[in-house]
A and B are shown apart, each in its own frame.
Chain A
């Protein structure tokens, strides 16, 4: 266990270095001269050559790329993500203010998809090839095919504009969370319903399920304790996958609902070409995602006793 943990952490080092390199490199992809850009934006006039040189020096852009990268990483590790080009405030503070809101939204969507997706999939598997199953599969197919931002507007039209049940924009209270969380969860609910159905259908054909039925257990108990439990492993794998989707798509959902999380703030930063913020946004989202995946990985052996840490490692080596 300890050895596995160490190996797993050691593997993270090159990935984290790569993440930081890529996030840093994003700033260098930008066309034009950031120094000239910043002056033009803050003062509103075209800068002289001398001013540009001074600004370049102030931003550290006159140093070599390697030095710039090391200085950037060095500061990032200590929690300093630079100064926003637009607000002039530390990027880290803005991220500290907005990231919790994004995580709140993602967590709500995650719970919602578990609470709706798993029962739907179980229901479909229990009544496989009936109309219930067809209905669930159709809903799942459609749910995976609609653009979330479009559904968001339909939800606002229905529940805010016409029914006045939920507020359309902003934060505050549980009622503000409902529509964004449903929108964000939709794709995962669809995916999870499909996954659960397939996994449960597979375990339903196994011997231990037949034994459970033969000894006269109630069908509901057979389904939940004997068919669903072994199906949990693909569900845990799914959760690792879903975090990436939830973090990424939160950007779109937050923009529609004016939810002042990290994603919405990042879209504003992109429109304002605030490169330090864009770099920090990519870095922080990737680190959060990597951390969540690490947590999921460490969860495996607790859910499936058959995968001890050593065998988890050997099966992982094939991939």
Chain B
């Protein structure tokens, strides 16, 4: 245990915490250096603090929200921000702050679900594609080519539109479009790892394909995947909000940030606060995601960040093979 430093000034507390954190970091070697860079990165610290704040607010929304999100107050319709309704009330007299807090759960929850599903399918297909090669690989890669040949929002919009408006359709459409960049990234890395001596060793000691993929290969491809996922979190939130804004996501009266923006459209001139509040919530969250993502990428060794950058550009830079 470290000794307690006497009488710390506030800025010194942060520094002390960072130093203590850097001392007590897990891992050794490059990973520890990366973590050290990370906790010294002001952008990352701010981003993480904001995300923790937003996450706590979302988790404690039922406790924090002054009103029920769908409770109409007919005397308060379209009221501006004030003492009772801190961020004002919407066209049905529902408290904007309460809707924002409760809406955070759906908005952030759908981002989390979508990202986990994207990682699951993207990494899974990438592992299979790279490990088995041959016809399996060709088949998966052709599918990836085709999905990358669509402007991603166009395809997501068409899928969500055909499935019918709901937050579930939006999440499905985002997953269906976005898994491909992870597949390309993971496949490339598996090809590099597959010939490593420790994989041969595992195989010659009688390990099954499944064991080799999950225990020898997966741990090696995971760090760049996590970086890529972090970098893309903001984009996923923006895409889901855009589709919700177009009326394809959560349906009224459900409180969700994109849907709230859609509902605020008729009133944006007379009551801009209804549009500014959920918009700012999205901006702050995406900004925090991007700060953490950028910091994570910079903190990793150049080889990893290069691979991630490649996967990101290749997602757009479709068809160039």
Which A residues form the contact surface with B (CB < 8 A)? Answer: 11-12, 14-15, 18-19, 21-23, 26-27, 29-31, 141-142, 144-150, 153-154, 156-157, 161, 237, 240-245, 247-249, 251-252, 255, 266-267, 269-271, 275, 278-279, 281-282, 285-286, 289-290, 293-294, 297, 316-317, 319
Contacts and interface: CB of A to CB of B under 8 A. Distances in A.
A30 to B, nearest CB: 5
Nearest to B191: A318
Given A19-B146, A240-B318, 12 more contacts: A15-B146, A18-B143, A21-B146, A31-B164, A147-B238, A240-B316, A251-B153, A251-B157, A252-B153, A289-B150, A293-B318, A319-B310
A18 B161 contact: no
Given A11-B321, A278-B158, A282-B154, A149 B145 contact: no
Contacts of A279: 158
A17 to B, nearest CB: 8
Nearest to A191: B316
B150 A19 contact: yes
B263 to A, nearest CB: 13
A244 B320 CA distance: 13
Contacts of B164: 30-31
Contact of A15 (B234, B268, B319): B319
B238 A293 contact: no
B286 interface: yes
Given A18-B143, A252-B246, A278-B162, A150 B154 contact: no
A144 B313 contact: no
B272 interface: yes
A289 B242 contact: no
Interface of B: 142-143, 145-147, 149-155, 157-159, 161-164, 184, 188, 234, 238, 241-242, 245-248, 261, 265, 268-269, 272, 275, 279, 282-283, 286-287, 290-291, 294, 310, 313-321
Nearest to A286: B150
Interface SS of chain B = helix
Contacts of B313: 237, 241
B246 A251 contact: yes
B151 A244 contact: yes
26 contacts: A15-B146, A15-B149, A18-B143, A18-B145, A18-B146, A21-B146, A26-B158, A29-B162, A31-B163, A141-B290, A144-B234, A144-B290, A145-B283, A150-B275, A153-B272, A248-B151, A251-B154, A255-B246, A270-B162, A278-B158, A286-B151, A289-B318, A293-B318, A293-B320, A297-B319, A319-B314
A14 to B, nearest CB: 6
B77 to A, nearest CB: 20
Interface SS of chain A = helix
Contacts of A316: 320-321
A157 B268 contact: yes
Nearest to B318: A293
Given A147-B242, A153-B275, A290 B287 contact: no
A285 B283 contact: no
A232 to B, nearest CB: 15
A14 B144 CA distance: 12
B283 A150 contact: yes
B158 A282 contact: yes
B118 to A, nearest CB: 17
B243 to A, nearest CB: 9
B269 A161 contact: yes
B290 to A, nearest CB: 5
